[in-house]
């Protein structure tokens, strides 16, 4: 992560500049700027940013250690009803066997012939593979590299991966889920930051994806411990919203071939880079309406709050501030989704993404960057709601179930961490970071009060 500097105007990364303002662009950055993003676009339409070429074979550079059983071995069962195979129309499937802290899942990926070389040369396009999750086999699914300027690792290093079970015509889902993410945690020194940050968002009332853990093997080669993270998809919408037919947009930054990137927000110069993940194509009419409302300025914000759920945004910002996630919509116009919820009259709901660089003591929680968050800070009612949610989080977090989950996760993953030959953090650093995240739940409230929140 770059060194950072805070000013009175807004978050100011070294060499980047102040937050965008109404009527200005302010969102295009040079190749030295930017941290980890999510599943945004690139100028050539690839689903994520481009990386450098890696080796020729999936086994190159692999660490020493025992191989997994391999997805091609005969011990796995074909996925079907016993995988919680669910789909549209039947409501959310019970996936408690997947998202829990009782087990480190075993994920075995067997790439099709030549797929390892494809991932090295073209990491963000899906290749065919067989995937086995805890003995359940999914044939001919899609696998690609994920991650950006921070967490990107060339394949076959400890690459973060996205798995799409339906990419090549399959029908079986994993406990209702068509996609899942395998995050490499190379930016998370505690290996518990995603679990903690998403948990705090849910405590604030903000819907957020869930986290489990998995040991990953590719062609029998151990890649180490990963987080297995739920995807924002139709199953997530069914599980978290009364009405799930609204439009869900990805707002992560747009990367250009020369390494520059454009942060995506509700303004004319960047709104076209929103990507529709779920819902109906409407030509970005819902996004553009928010941009027009923001152009009206902070003097009259009622038109904006007719399009964005004000109190939900206040809770989203409060949770983001509490987790110390600078690389977020609220404080950098990055790493977020927006769902236009029919049950809220079509108003937009903000969702967090990729908080692996959260729990940063150096971030300023009073320097909003995202334009909707700037509006919230300027609106007395929205800011009061933000402060109210922060007070509730500060009181509840120290003795919450989340505090117990962090301790449980720490014990659960310790053996897998000891086996992980691709870790980029040493055991002492990991233990210290875990201590810090656990203590954060008790100390963050005082830090925020010192900032005047």
> Is residue 57 one of the residues assigned to a domain?
no
Question: What pLDDT, on a 0 to 100 scale, did the predictor assign at position 259?
Answer: 79
Q: Where in the sequence is the domain holding 133, given as residue range(s)?
A: 77-240
The model's pLDDT over 140-149, given as tens digits with 9 standing for 90+, comes to 999 999 987 7
The mean of the pLDDT values for the chain is 84
Question: 392 and 310 in one domain?
Answer: yes
Backbone angles phi, psi at 447, to 5 degrees: -60, -45
Which of these three, 240, 269, 295, is where a domain ends? 240
Question: 226 and 333 in one domain?
Answer: no
Give me the number of domains the chain comprises. 2
Pairing mode, strands 77-78 and 136-146: parallel
> Is residue 329 one of the residues assigned to a domain?
yes
> Is residue 192 one of the residues assigned to a domain?
yes
Pairing mode, strands 336-341 and 347-352: antiparallel
> Is residue 405 one of the residues assigned to a domain?
no
Q: Are 166 and 77 in contact (CB under 8 A)?
A: no
Question: What pLDDT, on a 0 to 100 scale, did the predictor assign at position 83?
Answer: 57
Whether the pLDDT of residue 55 is over 70: the answer is no
Question: 214 and 149 in one domain?
Answer: yes
Q: Are 182 and 194 in contact (CB under 8 A)?
A: no
3-state secondary structure 101-151: CCCEEEEEEEECCCHHHHHHHCCCCCEEEEEEECCEEEEEEEEEEECCCCC
Query: For helices 380-396 and 427-450, what crossing angle results, to 10°?
Result: 130
Question: 387 and 326 in one domain?
Answer: yes
Overall average pLDDT of the 310-315 stretch: 98
Which of these three, 381, 397, 413, is where a domain ends? 397
> Is residue 251 one of the residues assigned to a domain?
yes
Overall average pLDDT of the 342-352 stretch: 98
Length of the chain: 453
Question: 389 and 257 in one domain?
Answer: yes
Q: How far apart are CA 159 and CA 183, in angstroms?
A: 8
Q: How far apart are CA 73 and CA 68, in angstroms?
A: 10
Whether the pLDDT of residue 366 is over 70: the answer is yes
% of the chain at pLDDT higher than 90: 73
Burial of 451: CB neighbours in 10 Å, binned 0-12, 13-18, 19+: exposed
End-to-end CA distance of the chain: 26
Reported as a pLDDT band with limits 50, 70 and 90, residue 26 is very low
| CA nearest neighbour of 210 among 328, 101, 99 | 99
> Is residue 411 one of the residues assigned to a domain?
no
Question: What pLDDT, on a 0 to 100 scale, did the predictor assign at position 85?
Answer: 53
Question: What pLDDT, on a 0 to 100 scale, did the predictor assign at position 161?
Answer: 97
H/E stretch holding 434:
helix 427-450
Question: What pLDDT, on a 0 to 100 scale, did the predictor assign at position 92?
Answer: 84
Quick one: tokens of 9? 């105007």
Query: For helices 193-203 and 427-450, what crossing angle results, to 10°?
Result: 30
Quick one: tokens of 441? 């739940």
Overall average pLDDT of the 29-35 stretch: 37
DSSP 208: -
> Is residue 304 one of the residues assigned to a domain?
yes
Question: 257 and 230 in one domain?
Answer: no
Quick one: tokens of 193? 């930051």
Range from 216-225, 228-237, 296-305, 428-437 carrying the lowest mean pLDDT: 296-305
Q: Are 192 and 215 in contact (CB under 8 A)?
A: no
> Is residue 368 one of the residues assigned to a domain?
yes
Secondary structure of residue 331 in the 3-state scheme: helix
Whether the pLDDT of residue 98 is over 70: the answer is yes
H-state helical runs in 191-348: 193-203, 234-240, 285-295, 302-305, 310-323, 329-332
Question: What pLDDT, on a 0 to 100 scale, did the predictor assign at position 47?
Answer: 32
pTM for the whole structure: 0.85
Question: What pLDDT, on a 0 to 100 scale, did the predictor assign at position 75?
Answer: 55
Longest Cα–Cα distance of the chain, Å, equals 66
Question: What pLDDT, on a 0 to 100 scale, did the predictor assign at position 13?
Answer: 25
DSSP string, 235-288: HHHHHH-S---SEEEE-PPEEPTTS-EE---SSTTTGGG-EEEES---TTHHHH
Whether the pLDDT of residue 167 is over 60: the answer is yes
Question: 228 and 142 in one domain?
Answer: yes
Distances (CA, A) of 124 to 145, 146, 276, 344, 417: 5, 7, 18, 35, 27
Question: 246 and 234 in one domain?
Answer: no
Overall average pLDDT of the 134-138 stretch: 97
Question: 207 and 345 in one domain?
Answer: no
Sheet containing strand 254-255, strands side by side: 28-29, 261-262, 254-255
Cα dihedral sign for 226, 227, 233, 236?
positive
Between 357 and 107, whose confidence is greater?
107
Q: Which residue has the tokens 């060194």?
A: 3
Whether the pLDDT of residue 278 is over 50: the answer is yes
Strands (E), 165-220: 179-183, 211-218
Question: 297 and 234 in one domain?
Answer: no
DSSP 81: G
Which of these three, 174, 209, 240, is where a domain ends? 240
If one counts every other C-beta atom within 10 angstroms of the C-beta of residue 92, the result is 15
């Amino acid at each position: 992560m770059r060194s950072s500097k805070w000013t009175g105007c807004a978050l100011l990364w070294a060499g980047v500049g102040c937050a965008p303002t109404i009527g200005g662009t302010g969102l295009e950055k040079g190749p030295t700027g930017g941290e980890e993003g999510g599943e945004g676009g690139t100028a050539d339409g690839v689903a994520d940013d481009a990386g450098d070429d890696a080796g020729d074979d999936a086994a190159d550079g692999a660490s020493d250690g025992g191989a997994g059983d391999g997805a091609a071995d005969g011990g796995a069962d074909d996925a079907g009803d016993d995988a919680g195979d669910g789909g549209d129309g039947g409501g959310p499937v019970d996936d408690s066997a997947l998202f829990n802290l009782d087990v480190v899942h075993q994920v075995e990926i067997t790439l099709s012939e030549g797929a390892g070389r494809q991932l090295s040369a073209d990491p963000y396009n899906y290749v065919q593979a067989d995937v086995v999750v805890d003995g359940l086999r999914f044939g001919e699914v899609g696998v690609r590299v994920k991650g950006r300027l921070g967490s990107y690792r060339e394949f076959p290093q400890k690459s973060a991966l996205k798995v799409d079970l339906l990419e090549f015509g399959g029908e079986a889902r994993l406990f209702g889920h068509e996609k899942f993410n395998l995050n490499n945690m190379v930016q998370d020194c505690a290996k518990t930051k995603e679990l903690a940050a998403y948990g705090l968002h849910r405590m604030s009332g903000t819907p957020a994806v869930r986290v489990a853990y998995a040991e990953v093997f590719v062609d029998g080669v151990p890649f180490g411990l990963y987080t297995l993270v739920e995807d924002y998809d139709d199953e997530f919408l069914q599980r978290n919203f009364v009405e799930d037919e609204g439009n869900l947009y990805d707002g992560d930054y747009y990367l250009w071939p020369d390494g520059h990137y454009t942060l995506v927000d509700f303004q004319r110069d960047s709104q076209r880079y929103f990507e529709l993940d779920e819902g109906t194509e409407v030509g970005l009419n819902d996004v553009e309406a928010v941009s027009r409302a923001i152009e009206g300025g902070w003097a009259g914000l009622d038109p904006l709050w007719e399009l964005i759920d004000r109190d939900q945004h206040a809770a989203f910002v409060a949770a983001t501030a509490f987790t110390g996630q600078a690389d977020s919509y609220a404080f950098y116009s990055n790493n977020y989704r927006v769902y236009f919820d029919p049950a809220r009259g079509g108003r937009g709901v903000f969702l967090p993404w990729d908080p692996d660089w959260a729990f940063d003591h150096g971030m300023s929680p009073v320097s909003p960057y995202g334009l909707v968050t700037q509006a919230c800070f300027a609106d007395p009612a929205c800011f009061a709601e933000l402060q109210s949610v922060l007070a509730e989080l500060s009181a509840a977090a120290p003795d919450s179930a989340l505090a117990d989950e962090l301790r449980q996760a720490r014990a659960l993953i310790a053996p897998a961490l000891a086996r992980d030959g691709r870790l980029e953090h040493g055991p002492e650093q990991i233990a210290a970071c875990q201590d810090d995240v656990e203590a954060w739940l008790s100390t963050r409230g005082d830090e925020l009060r010192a900032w005047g929140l």
